[in-house]
Chains A and B, each alone.
Chain A
Amino acid sequence: MDSHFLGIDLGSSYTKFVVVDDSGTVMFEKTIQTLSRNRQTFQDIKNEIDNKFNISKTCSTGYGRNSFACDLQKTELICAAKGVSSFAPTHKCIIDIGGEDIKIIESGPNGEVIEFMMNDKCSAGTGTFITEIADKAEIEIQEMNDLAKNSTNDKVINSFCTVFAKTEILGWKFNGVSAEDIAKGIYLSIVNRICKLPVQLDIPIYLCGGVISYHPYLKDLLKNEFNTEVDIFPKPQMAVALGAALIARDEK
């Protein structure tokens, strides 16, 4: 039986599993919620993988990487660079918008991390920020993307603090601001946040992470802001888990 390699990305919101074969072809992928008290789901997936594949090496990544016994543990930045490089083997800038942080990674063609930057003081501009604000605005997360597209609003939430931003949104609601404009305002505040980070604009830019999976309109807004092409890694939420699986395959 051929050898297979498992990457598990234990992110702050979701846990992603990817299995690749020797050639790097994805054989299996699955996403479940992280931190469920019921660990049976996690174990069921693990059993399913063990039954279907001949896993010869595993690599865990994400915040929970050290909580799960794998052959290798790598940070999500290293895995994001590896995963995106399998699709874009070039010198590039990766913007990974996750549940609780934003990471900017300058990566070489083979997934080398050349420089990186991540927020570590607060979660403003991340998936959790969107979820919290949308909840206060009474907007369904699944509808946000389409709502925002229909807005001509350019009003941004000022506060970086998620709690204060919720108060600000309350004011918008009192003033009768439409759901479309609120949705776009939330996105623009994220773009505003990203623009304060040192994104390299003279090399190709790729987006990955859970947020861009559910909110692809952010790409258009970032493209306008940067005035350059911005691409989304296919299945952006799986990029890091894929990178982990590829590292499990490649690392001697």
Chain B
Amino acid sequence: MAQLEAQKKLKIILENYFVGMKAPVAWCTSAGPAEILRALGFEVYFPENHGAMLGATRLAGKYIPKAHRAGFSGEICSYLTADIGAWLMKETPLTNAYGLKSIPKPDMIVFNTNQCREVAEWFNFYGREFNCPVVGIYPPRYLEDVSKSDIDNVVAQFKEVISVGENVLGKKLDPHELEKVVALSYEGTQLWKQVLDTARKKPSPLSFFDGTILMAPIVMLRGTKICVDFYKETLSELEELAKTQQEDSNQLRLYWEGMPIWGRLRSMAQFFNDNNSVVVASTYCNSWIFDDFNPKNPLESMASAYTKIFINRGENTKLAYMEKMLNDFDIDGIIFHDAKTCFNNSNNRFGLPKRLKDSTRIDTLTIDGDLNDLRFFSDGQTQTKLETFLEQLKSKKRISV
């Protein structure tokens, strides 16, 4: 794909975000209640984004051993180990990228275990380091249906976040401000959805690998006008781009399930491009589509949105979700990434690939790797697998090889 104007704008947005971050700062997990924190008056920092930066810059390999020596296993989340290792070495890629001496200091830390338990250990570590309040949201996990009592449970925990945040800041939450932020989050998330949906077109103007870059605002600036404006422009640019592209019926359309391999984004994007194939959809990028946000009912709608995320659902719900995605995006093959250090987001481990194949007849491939720890990734073996898989799909699609 050609370099998008949106990617250039994104660089400026991210620079402004990091350089302009002033106290009070709250840290939050990527699918945590950022709206509450923003409405209270915090600027919000996301350690997972920092973890991904460490992966994408391939610095993670330098820092992970430091976390091991501090007692963190090599088989737990490599966002956590890379991030904590970097902290222990007093280094951050934000220095080279934006001239920051350090990651922003938190006045309050909030996590949501809707994605995994590792975030609790990760964020509590920093609570001890910075001696600041830490509030954990522990929603019911692995749900098929999400009931009213599940929502009530999470809403009660959100109220604790509000209470602690009010104490930290010495002021009350303005309910109108929360409504405003949730409204912006909803608008942003719907625009993000439309951006990802441009990949339904053939050929797609957008790949999963582009998405992993373009998703930064919906994670880090969710609930702001900056985010909304960015996706309006991005959507417009992608729609224009799609009009100029000629259909290629030979192009293979793939689905990516699981975490990105951050240190191999560029080479993988190139690989698929060279092999006339494109990863058009992913559960990962879709994780920040929150249809349930409703400013008229902020806390309940947030509780619903954040509890219903894919990673927090039961296997039947995951299967149904993916079946719909495969159909919507007219997918030829599915790639499952079994990330060694991300048990919760390696969805191949309980038979889902086989059940999907049985129900949709779409072929699946599992590749072994990791989000950040490239010791668990073999370039040669993965390339062999992917080349064979694409050949297998082409052969079935009866297109020229």
> With an 8 A cutoff between CB atoms, is A63 at the interface?
yes
Say how far A17's CB is from chain B's closest CB, in angstroms.
Answer: 20
A-B contact count (CB 8 A): 42
Rounded to whole angstroms, the CA-CA distance of A77 and B383 in the bound complex is 12
Instruction: Report yes or no: B368 in contact with A120, Cβ–Cβ below 8 A.
Output: yes
> With an 8 A cutoff between CB atoms, is B233 at the interface?
no
* Chain B interface, DSSP helix/strand/loop, else mixed: helix
Instruction: Report yes or no: A74 in contact with B391, Cβ–Cβ below 8 A.
Output: yes
Q: What chain B residues lie within 8 Å of A78 (beta carbons)? A: 387-388, 391
> With an 8 A cutoff between CB atoms, is A202 at the interface?
no
Known contacts A75-B384, A77-B384, A120 near B391 by CB under 8 Å: no
Instruction: Report yes or no: A120 in contact with B401, Cβ–Cβ below 8 A.
Output: no
> With an 8 A cutoff between CB atoms, is A14 at the interface?
no
Q: Mark B385-401, 1 if CB is under 8 A from A, else 0.
A: 10111011001100001
B368, B376, B388: the one contacting A77 at CB < 8 Å is: B388
What's the tally of chain A residues with a CB closer than 8 Å to chain B? 16
Instruction: Report yes or no: A120 in contact with B378, Cβ–Cβ below 8 A.
Output: yes
Instruction: Report yes or no: A121 in contact with B384, Cβ–Cβ below 8 A.
Output: no
Instruction: Report yes or no: B401 in contact with A116, Cβ–Cβ below 8 A.
Output: no
B368, B382, B388: the one contacting A116 at CB < 8 Å is: B388
> With an 8 A cutoff between CB atoms, is A114 at the interface?
yes
Rounded to whole angstroms, the CA-CA distance of A118 and B401 in the bound complex is 22
Q: What chain A residues lie within 8 Å of B391 (beta carbons)? A: 74-75, 78, 113
Instruction: Report yes or no: B381 in contact with A118, Cβ–Cβ below 8 A.
Output: yes
Instruction: Report yes or no: A118 in contact with B395, Cβ–Cβ below 8 A.
Output: no
Rounded to whole angstroms, the CA-CA distance of A193 and B401 in the bound complex is 34
Q: What chain A residues lie within 8 Å of B20 (beta carbons)? A: none
Q: What chain A residues lie within 8 Å of B376 (beta carbons)? A: 121
Rounded to whole angstroms, the CA-CA distance of A41 and B109 in the bound complex is 64
Instruction: Report yes or no: A101 in contact with B381, Cβ–Cβ below 8 A.
Output: yes
Q: What chain A residues lie within 8 Å of B380 (beta carbons)? A: 63
Rounded to whole angstroms, the CA-CA distance of A112 and B384 in the bound complex is 16
Rounded to whole angstroms, the CA-CA distance of A120 and B363 in the bound complex is 19
What's the tally of chain B residues with a CB closer than 8 Å to chain A? 18
Rounded to whole angstroms, the CA-CA distance of A198 and B230 in the bound complex is 47
The closest CB in chain A to the CB of B382 belongs to: A120
Known contacts A120-B368, A251-B401, A113 near B392 by CB under 8 Å: yes
Known contacts A75-B387, A251-B401, A116 near B392 by CB under 8 Å: yes
Q: What chain B residues lie within 8 Å of A115 (beta carbons)? A: 363, 392
- Most chain A CB within 10 A, of B388, B391, B392, B395, is at B388
> With an 8 A cutoff between CB atoms, is A9 at the interface?
no
Q: What chain B residues lie within 8 Å of A101 (beta carbons)? A: 381
Rounded to whole angstroms, the CA-CA distance of A192 and B84 in the bound complex is 39
Q: What chain A residues lie within 8 Å of B389 (beta carbons)? A: 116
A76, A114, A251: the one contacting B384 at CB < 8 Å is: A76
Instruction: Report yes or no: B381 in contact with A120, Cβ–Cβ below 8 A.
Output: yes
Q: What chain A residues lie within 8 Å of B384 (beta carbons)? A: 63, 75-77, 118
- Most chain B CB within 10 A, of A75, A120, A251, is at A120
Instruction: Report yes or no: A112 in contact with B381, Cβ–Cβ below 8 A.
Output: no
Q: Mark B352-391, 1 if CB is under 8 A from A, else 0.
A: 0000000000010001100000001010111011011101
Say how far A223's CB is from chain B's closest CB, in angstroms.
Answer: 27
Say how far B206's CB is from chain A's closest CB, in angstroms.
Answer: 28
Q: What chain B residues lie within 8 Å of A63 (beta carbons)? A: 380, 384
The closest CB in chain A to the CB of B380 belongs to: A63
Say how far B363's CB is from chain A's closest CB, in angstroms.
Answer: 7
Q: What chain B residues lie within 8 Å of A74 (beta carbons)? A: 387, 391
Rounded to whole angstroms, the CA-CA distance of A112 and B395 in the bound complex is 7
- Most chain A CB within 10 A, of B378, B380, B385, B392, is at B392
- Give 9 A-B pairs besides A101-B381, A251-B401 with Cβ atoms closer than 8 angstroms: A77-B384, A77-B388, A113-B388, A113-B391, A114-B392, A116-B385, A118-B381, A118-B384, A121-B378
Pairs across A and B, CB under 8 Å, 11 listed = A112-B392, A112-B395, A112-B396, A113-B388, A115-B363, A120-B367, A120-B368, A120-B381, A120-B382, A120-B385, A121-B368
B interface residue numbers (CB < 8 A to A):
363, 367-368, 376, 378, 380-382, 384-385, 387-389, 391-392, 395-396, 401
